[in-house]
A and B are shown apart, each in its own frame.
Chain A
């Protein structure tokens, strides 16, 4: 999400069913997108890291990946986190996000997913492998790359004000 030529790249390893990821998305990512991604200061990469303890997180990740291929990742990501409580209880993801994602769009995403299921699964697995190599043990796990150097932030989510201070510091370098 954002410009690939941005001076800072942030990778977030997330599990759509993880409450800490939802909290991080609601309190930090939304503002980060408005203040840093949209102005071209940060290139934000979502990486799937579905945890085994969450039975529907892979299903949600597949949906988000299909949406990404259709340029709808932002909408679906927001819808997944906003309705996490609903679909986490019964696994009815499409039903839960129907209020946010229009039916026609949902059909396109569903069709794309059905036609490219192997590629989507492979993409999720690729992200997971990257996470495992980086010793990701919890979600969200955040990595910030700037001036050719990648730093792992303390796991479990970061307060927006503290992240903002750090990003401003990096931008001043």
Chain B
């Protein structure tokens, strides 16, 4: 009985809207990560490919979470990591993994931001550029991005599962 159910499902016309939604979601999420990277490399009216890490490091350090060496390392790496993640999301290669990484990254960001907000630190968010104040708006925005990242991740897993069921 189970086998015949799978066969009948595979014979049904494939629904396109979940795939369209997933493509839309991953493209939006990818674009957000690319914009986040861009604002860390291009600010104060110009590109800062040689010194971006000084500015971004100062923004990260204001969270009072990491030792200076870790701040400097993160400041150098994170913008390029966000850029690569954004590209992977838009292309759709390894979508389940990029979805998981994006969700985890956003979760860490939100945790750090919430901690800073609760502690009453009047600091820059460091999310999109270095001069955006941390506040309720930045928390709501990043939380919405997390919801989108989770939706993309779950969607990627569900579609993969559906493919496996159909092909079997």
Contacts and interface: CB of A to CB of B under 8 A. Distances in A.
Interface string B129-153: 0110100000000000000000000
Contacts of A150: 44
B26 to A, nearest CB: 31
B100 interface: no
Contacts of A104: none
- B-side binding surface: helix, strand, loop or mixed? mixed
Q: How big is the A interface, by class? A: 10 to 19
Interface in A111-126: none
B71 A154 contact: no
Contacts of B124: 154-156
A25 to B, nearest CB: 16
B30 interface: no
B10 interface: no
Contact of B55 (A20, A137, A154): A154
Contact of B44 (A152, A155, A156): A152
A156 B71 contact: no
A138 B51 contact: no
B51 A156 contact: no
B122 A159 contact: no
Q: How big is the B interface, by class? A: 20 to 34
Contact of B51 (A157, A161, A163, A166): A166
B44 A154 contact: no
B62 A154 contact: yes
Nearest to A139: B122
Given A154-B58, A166-B54, A169-B51, A137 B133 contact: yes
A138 B122 contact: yes
A156 B54 contact: no
A35 to B, nearest CB: 16
Contacts of A162: 54, 57-58, 61, 68, 71-72
Given A161-B68, A162-B61, A162-B68, A155 B133 contact: yes
Interface string B39-58: 00000100000010011011
A165 interface: yes
A33 to B, nearest CB: 19
B61 A159 contact: yes
A153 B133 contact: no
Given A20-B122, A152-B44, A154-B124, A159 B58 contact: yes
Contact of B133 (A20, A138, A159): A138
Interface in A121-166: 137-138, 150-159, 161-163, 165-166
A154 B51 contact: no
Given A151-B44, A162-B58, A156 B123 contact: yes
B59 interface: yes
Interface of B: 44, 51, 54-55, 57-59, 61-62, 68, 71-72, 121-124, 126, 130-131, 133
11 contacts: A138-B133, A151-B55, A154-B62, A154-B123, A154-B131, A156-B123, A159-B61, A165-B54, A165-B72, A166-B51, A166-B55
